[in-house]
Amino acid sequence: MKKIIASTLVLIIALTGVIGATAAYFSDVGTSNGNTFTAGSLDLKVNGSDDNVRLFNLSDIHPEYIVVPDSQPHSQYIITNTGTIKGYLNIKNIVVTNVENDCIGPEIAAGDEATSSDGELGDFLNLRLWVDITEDGWISEGEATFYDGKINDLPSEFLLNLEIPAGGTAKIIGVISDWWSSPNDNLAQTDSVTIDLTFTLDQKAQ
Ligand SMILES: [Ca+2]
Ligand SMILES: [Ca+2]
Ligand SMILES: [Ca+2]
Ligand SMILES: [Ca+2]
C-alpha cells in the first residue's frame, strides 16, 4: 500500500514537472504608453498686443491736409499668429459711426440740419486698405488694395482668408488717401467719423 502511495506521489510530481516545463516559452514585450493629444492654438496679436489697438486718432482734418503728397494719414497693423497652427486672417464686424458734433453756420449754409446728430465726414474721406507683402508700408507692384473707397461705403467685413502660418505675420496698411471734394465740403466741418473693426484668425477659410 505504501508503495502505491509513493508511486502516485512520484507520478504527480513528475506530471507537475511536465506541466511546469511546457509553460516556459520564449517571449518579449513592446509598449505604447503615454499617448497624448494636446490641442493646438490660434492666437492672434495686433501690433504685439491682445488689447484694442487704435491707430488713427486725427483731429483738424481738412481737404488740403489729406491731399498733400506723402503726408496722408497712414497706419499699419502687424498681425501675428503666435499660436501653433496656421490660421486665415479676416476682418469682420466693421462699423462706421458718423457724429455731427456741433452744427455750425457753414454746415447749415451747405444744407446740413442744425438739429442733425449724424455727421458727413465719412462721405468725404477715402480709405485704402491693402496687404503689404513687401513690408515697405506703401503699395508696391503686385500689391492690390482690397478696399479703395469712401469710409461710408465700407462693407461689414472683408473675407481676406489670408493664410498666416504658426509664428507668421501679415501687415495690413490703412491710408486716408483722398478727400472727395464737392461744392458741399462744408457739410463735414467739425464732424467726426469712427471705424471699428475686428481682426479674426480662423482655422478654416471662410
Ligand atoms: Ca448732418
Ligand atoms: Ca508694399
Ligand atoms: Ca455736418
Ligand atoms: Ca458738424
Tell me the CA–centroid distance for residue 122 and ligand 1, in Å: 11
Under 8 Å between Cβ of 42 and 83: yes
Q: Does 37 map to a domain? A: no
**Domain, as residue range, for 188:** 44-202
As for how many domains the chain has, the answer is 1
pLDDT at 91 over 90: yes
- Please give the distance, rounded to the nearest whole angstrom, from the Cα atom of residue 128 to the centre of ligand 4: 24
- Ligand 1 centroid to Cα of residue 114, in Å, is 8
Q: Is 38 part of a structural domain of the chain?
A: no
CA distance 51 to 84: 20
CB-based neighbours (< 5 A) of ligand 2, an ion: 132, 134, 136, 140
Tell me whether residue 10 is in a domain: no
Q: Ligand 1 centre from 84 Cα, in Å?
A: 48
How far apart are the CA of 129 and the centre of ligand 3, in A?
A: 25
Residue of 1, 2, 169 whose CA lies nearest to 83: 169
The three grid cell numbers given for residue 205, joined into one nine-digit string: 477659410
Give residue 97's pLDDT. 92
Name which residue leads in pLDDT, 168 or 135: 168
CA 119 to ligand 4 centroid distance, Å? 6
Q: How far is the CA of 93 from the centre of ligand 3 (A)?
A: 25
Question: 33-37, 50-54, 163-167: which has the minimum mean pLDDT?
Answer: 33-37
Domain assignment present for residue 92? The answer is: yes
Mean pLDDT of 120-130: 94
Report the alpha-carbon distance of residue 103 to residue 119 in Å, rounded. 9
How far apart CA 147 and CA 42 sit, in angstroms, is 26
Ligand (nearest to CA of 103): 4
Residue 23 in domain: no
User: Alpha-carbon distance 173 to 91, whole Å?
Assistant: 13
User: Comparing 114-118, 147-151, 187-191, which segment has the lowest mean pLDDT?
Assistant: 114-118
Domain assignment of residue 139, yes or no: yes
User: Is residue 13 scored above 50 in pLDDT?
Assistant: no
Query: Is position 24 within any domain?
Result: no
pLDDT at 65 over 80: no
CA 118–ligand 2 middle distance (angstroms): 35
Distance between Cα 98 and ligand 2 center (Å): 30
Report if residue 161 sits inside a domain: yes
In this predicted structure, the answer to whether residue 90 has a pLDDT above a threshold of 60 is yes
